[in-house]
Chains A and B, each alone.
Chain A
Amino acid sequence: MIVEAGHFALVLALCVAFVQGVLPIVGAARGNAAWMAVAPQAAIAQWLLVAVAFLALMHAYVTSDFSVLNVVLNSHTDKPLLYKISGVWGNHEGSMLLWVLILSLFGAAVALFGGNLPAAFRARVLSVHAWLAIGFYLFILLTSNPFERMLPPAENGQDLNPLLQDPGLAFHPPMLYLGYVGFSMAFSFAVAALIEGRVDASWARWVRPWTLLAWCCLTAGIALGSWWAYYELGWGGWWYWDPVENASFMPWLAGTALLHSATMVEKRDTLKGWTVFLAIVAFSLSLLGTFLVRSGVLTSVHAFATDPARGVFILLLLVFVIGGSLALFAWRGPTLRNTGLFQPISREGAMLLNNLAMMTGAAAVLLGTLYPLFLDAVGGAKVSVGPPFFNATFVPLMIPMIAAMAVGPLLAWKRGDLAAAMKRLWVAAAAAAMVALFIWQMQGDGAIFGALGIGLATWLLVGVLVEWGERIRLFRAPAGEAIGRLVRTPRASLGMTFAHAGLAIAIAGIAASTAWKVESIQTMKPGDTVDVAGYAYTFQGARRADGPNYTAVRGTFTVRKDDRPFATLEPEKRIYAVRSQPTTEAAIRTTFLGDLYAVIGDPEGTEGAFVTRIYFNPLVAWIWAGAMLMAAGGLLSLSDRRYRVGLAAGRRRDAPADASPTRA
């Protein structure tokens, strides 16, 4: 009954979305305030209805209602409660329901917090948003209904893929979807602006917070996924350039570009067409990711069970949403007028360079991801495009961007002084050179790329700190004044400092963990000791350690450093009973300089020996720490009062903060 109620609520949501998709936009065209006023109410109603549908499905999972096909396929009575809940979105149908829940949540948020938007504009935004929702409701109801019953009910379920029974994974999809779907807001704003033919600073101010929120969630979601892969998949890798990973990374790149270009529209009234284009592209790439994962056109370990009907439907949706918005862009875009002019060497110039790097990076990733499909479609050979390709193309594209990133914030708007900026960066250059040389000397051969990577990270980090120091006049003004400036620094610019520093830290982690990973694979009997990167691991044996729905063997390693006890690591190898699928649970001890990482494999012989794999992953945790710092920077910027008050104040300029430090 509850399940039927959920199904019915979803159908109602579709009906409401139709109303929201038509009345307000027609009202806006005719100046009918009553029709426009339908939009906020409808958006909130949609959200409530989808929430009912979602909770109904969750109820079926939590109570193990095995008359629901989706529950049978993805749950089991023995599963811990957390995974019964996360099982709701651990499958195709349920994850689509989560997708529309978040989509309607954003719509409701605009309805609730968008009071400062002009009524006609808000009506158009919500109508556009409703059309996106209609597409997805239809997709769920017609091809992927999670409420389908199964009669007679099954005795028990088939359990959730054990790889997904993990806390990291429980939260990864909601985060990721907040990111993907969050870009739908920027998209709706862009399309509404094209319909109105007006893009100005206040438009950019409305778009930026939604984009920032989506960007933060996507950053966190990607980091969470990569962290999960790192500890769950058992060989210490954290990024594989799998099509599905790429599908989440491309919107991130486009979203990052959008954040920067929206700043330029806001502050400098320039690059309007380009910014609208990026807003469309960021969401289009999110949709593309959905298509790739769910249509079966590409193979990926992450792919959902695929069904051609779904593929066709999603493709039609893509053509409708992306094709439609790009057609509108082609039609209305050329009428957008830019007034702000600037020189290549300027803050705007640096941001444009960022845009170029982000978008060429995204294009390279897109090309690599889709190339096998293209070649196959034109009757060419079957090829694979794997990590070696992406590392060879994407990484070189990013290096100049990162080098320029330290300089950009030091340049003035409109026209910057490169020589002066470089002069102020001598500390960063000296620090980078010293660190790189030192590390290269210390690590010896083969480490040149690692040393360069760390040098680059140092350059960026110190460059960011120099800019921050200048901003608050650290060491130049009396301490009191510096503190006063620190306190008054707008959170948006502090957010930028955080985010850029976070990237520097992540780069150091990426470089070090790639260049100096230590791996040791061996068979160990109880009492055997191996030395890995200065830590002595003694295998103490293994014992059974079964959980609620799995059997497991847990090994124990005692780790000594400099002959003193340092840590105990207890990796597990589990076999989940229902699907008889094994998983590894790596034991990880994170230290400042690197992770100790131990995995246990199969037993060998009769003396209690096991195959073991032990790694030392230098600085690897910096990757996620850096990513979290980036997301935190985004949130900090989001909390800037400029986005909370006086949103509609138009072109008011926040003075000292926006002025370049050269003029400060």
Chain B
Amino acid sequence: MSAAVSFPMKRFLFLLPLALFLVIAGYFAMGLTRDPRVLPSVLINTPVPEFALPSIQGRDRGFASTDLQGGVALVNVFGSWCVACRVEHGFLMQLKQRGEIPIHGIDWREPDREAGPRWLAKYGDPYALIGDDPESRGVIAFGVTGAPETFLVDRQGVIRHKHVGPLTPEVWDRTLKPLIAELRKQ
């Protein structure tokens, strides 16, 4: 930075920090529009990973990856401890009553064996098949980080969509319903 540096060169050097900062600020602006906690699934358009979960108390069969061959279905991760699951539960019951699509459940990390069945007895049971998942086996297979999460699986057993958070009528109408119709056509 001595006088021997030619002037334009020197100008450029002194401008560099500003340019660098503006680039960083641009990224920050983009970053503000995104939620860093949203983690896209890497499993979209890949076959359902293999898993086999035992049944919960009061049912006679569990839920395994092989059950997802042959028809479009939803897989919903829930637990009696999960407050947000209560929020979507009424809508899941509606879907079941309307006969829209089979919904399978993964009952995640219940504090004890009775908790899940008790919760379902109280609020209704929308699930076709339920797997008990006290050690997060099924949940890890699906790359789930929190409940509720819902996956749409096509008839070849390939995961097509993942929804994080409670399922609402809006999400259903806007995203899932059209997707399901399309998958059923194939």
**Given A296-B36, A298-B36, A334-B10, A377:B27 Cβ within 8 A:** yes
Question: Does A230 reach chain B (CB closer than 8 Å)?
Answer: no
**A residues less than 8 Å from B123 (CB atoms):** none
- Min CB distance B81 to A, Å, is 13
Whether the Cβ atoms of B21 and A372 lie closer than 8 Å is no
**Contact of A323 (CB < 8 Å), options: B15, B25, B27, B31:** B25
A295 lies within 8 A of B32 (CB): yes
Chain B: interface residue total (CB-CB under 8 A) = 26
Within 8 A of A (CB), among B1-35: 1-3, 7, 10-11, 14-15, 17-18, 21-22, 24-25, 27-32, 34-35
Residues on the B chain within 8 Å of A295, using CB: 28, 31-32
Complex contacts, A329 vs chain B, CB 8 Å: 14, 17-18
- Knowing A273-B14, A326-B17, A329-B18, say if A318 contacts B28 (CB, 8 Å): yes
A653 at the interface (CB under 8 A from B): no
Q: Does A622 contact B (CB under 8 A)?
A: no
| B181 in the interface (beta carbon within 8 A) | no
Asked if B10 and A373 make an inter-chain contact with CB atoms under 8 angstroms apart, the answer reads no
Q: Is A393 in the interface zone, CB < 8 Å from B? A: no
Name the residue of chain A whose CB is nearest to the CB of B32: A311
Closest chain B CB from A423 CB (angstroms): 32
Are A373 and B3 in contact, CB atoms less than 8 angstroms apart?
no
Known: A296-B36, A319-B25, A323-B22. A376 touches B14 (CB 8 A): no
B39 partner residues in chain A, CB cutoff 8 A: 382
Looking at the complex, which one of A274, A308, A311, A318 makes contact with B25 (CB distance below 8 Å)?
Answer: A318
Whether the pair A373, B25 counts as a contact (CB closer than 8 A) is no
Given A277-B17, A377-B30, the answer on whether A299 and B36 have CB atoms closer than 8 Å is: yes
Task: Determine the distance from Cα of A298 to Cα of B18 in the docked complex, in whole angstroms.
Answer: 23
Say whether A330 faces chain B, with CB atoms less than 8 Å apart. Answer: yes
Is A14 on the interface with B (CB-CB < 8 A)?
Answer: no
B127 to chain A, nearest CB (A): 30
Asked whether, in the complex, the Cβ of A372 is within 8 Å of the Cβ of B36, the reply is: yes
A327 vs B18: C-alpha distance when bound (angstroms)? 6
Contact A373 B31 (CB under 8 A): yes
List B contacts of A277 (CB < 8 A): 17
A282–B33 alpha-carbon span in the complex (Å)? 27
Q: Is A337 an interface residue (CB 8 A)?
A: yes
Is there an interface contact between A291 and B34, defined as CB atoms closer than 8 Å?
no
Counting CB contacts under 8 A, is A370 at the interface? yes
A312 at the interface (CB under 8 A from B): yes
Known: A274-B1, A323-B22, A382-B40. A330 touches B17 (CB 8 A): yes
- Output the nearest chain A residue to B16 by Cβ-Cβ distance: A330
Closest residue on chain B to residue A379 by CB atoms? B30
What separation, in Å, do the CA atoms of A284 and B39 have in the docked complex? 30
Contact A291 B21 (CB under 8 A): no
The 8 Å CB contact of B28, one of A273, A281, A297, A382, is: A297
Residues of B within 8 A of A333 (CB): 14
Contact residues in B for A312 (Cβ distance below 8 Å): 32
Given contacts A326-B17, A333-B14, A334-B7, contact A376 B32 (CB under 8 A): no
C-alpha spacing A558/B28, complex, angstroms: 53
Contact with A along B134-165 (1 / 0, CB 8 A): 00000000000000000000000000000000
Chain B residue contacts of A308, Cβ below 8 A: 32
A438 within 8 A of B: no
Q: Does B37 contact A (CB under 8 A)?
A: yes
Q: Which of A301-343 contact B (CB under 8 A)?
A: 308, 311-312, 315, 318-319, 322-323, 326-327, 329-330, 333-334, 337-338, 341
Which chain B residues border A376 with CB–CB below 8 Å? 31, 34, 36
Contact with B along A364-376 (1 / 0, CB 8 A): 0000001011101
Give the nearest-CB partner of A375 in chain B.
B27
Residues of A422-450 contacting chain B, CB below 8 A: none
A297 pairs with B31, CB closer than 8 A? yes
Is there an interface contact between A373 and B1, defined as CB atoms closer than 8 Å?
A: no
Chain A residues with Cβ below 8 Å from B7 are 334
Check A323–B18 contact: CB distance below 8 A. Answer: yes
Q: CA of A295 to CA of B30 in the docked complex: distance in angstroms? A: 12
Contact of A330 among B3, B14, B25 (CB under 8 A): B14
Minimum distance in angstroms from A75 CB to a CB of chain B: 25
Alpha-carbon distance A291/B17, docked complex (angstroms): 19
Asked if residues B27 and A322 are in contact (CB atoms below 8 Å), the reply is: no
Q: Is B34 a contact partner of A377 (Cβ separation < 8 A)?
A: yes
Chain A 149-188, CB-CB to B under 8 Å as 1, else 0, gives: 0000000000000000000000000000000000000000
Task: Determine how close the nearest CB of chain A comes to the CB of B25; give it in whole angstroms.
Answer: 5
Name the B residues within 8 Å of A370 (CB-CB).
24, 27
Contacts of A377 in B (CB 8 A): 27, 30-31, 34
CA distance A298 to B37 in the complex (A): 9
| A334-B10, A334-B11 known; A373 vs B37 contact (CB < 8 Å) | no
Q: Which of A87-126 contact B (CB under 8 A)?
A: none
Nearest A residue to B7 via CB reads: A334
Q: Which residue of chain A has its CB nearest to the CB of B38?
A: A382
> Do the beta carbons of B28 and A291 come within 8 Å of each other?
yes
Note all chain B residues with C-beta closer than 8 A to A299: 36-37
Residue of A nearest to B17 (CB): A326
Beta-carbon contact of A330 and B18 below 8 Å? yes
Q: How far is the CB of B145 from chain A (nearest CB, A)?
A: 12
A297-B36, A308-B32 known; A373 and B17 CB under 8 Å? no
Instruction: Give Cα A338–Cα B1 distance, bound, in whole angstroms.
Output: 8
For residue B34, which residue of chain A has the nearest CB? A376
Q: Report Cα–Cα, A644/B150, bound state, in Å.
A: 68
Q: Which of B2, B21, B34 interacts with A338 by CB under 8 Å? A: B2
Q: Which of A499-514 contact B (CB under 8 A)?
A: none
Give the CA-CA distance A82 to B161 in the complex, in Å.
Answer: 51
Q: Are B32 and A297 in contact (CB under 8 A)?
A: yes
A294 to B18, CA, bound (A): 23
**Once bound together, how far apart are the Cα atoms of A372 and B3, in whole Å?**
40
Taking CB atoms, residues of chain A closer than 8 Å to B40 are 382
Complex CA distance for A322 and B19, rounded to whole angstroms? 11
By beta carbon, the residue of chain A nearest B18 is A326
Extra contacts, 14 of them, besides A318-B25, A373-B31 (Cβ < 8 A), are: A273-B14, A280-B17, A295-B31, A296-B32, A315-B32, A318-B28, A322-B21, A323-B22, A326-B17, A326-B21, A330-B18, A370-B27, A377-B30, A377-B34
For the complex of A and B, the 4 pairs showing the least CB-CB separation, nearest first, are: A297-B31, A377-B30, A326-B18, A333-B14
* 21 A-B pairs with C-beta separation under 8 A: A277-B17, A284-B21, A296-B36, A297-B36, A299-B36, A315-B29, A319-B25, A322-B25, A326-B21, A330-B17, A330-B18, A370-B27, A373-B27, A374-B27, A376-B31, A376-B34, A376-B36, A377-B27, A377-B31, A377-B34, A382-B39
Give A contacts to B, CB under 8 Å: 271, 273-274, 277, 280-281, 284, 291, 295-299, 308, 311-312, 315, 318-319, 322-323, 326-327, 329-330, 333-334, 337-338, 341, 370, 372-374, 376-377, 382
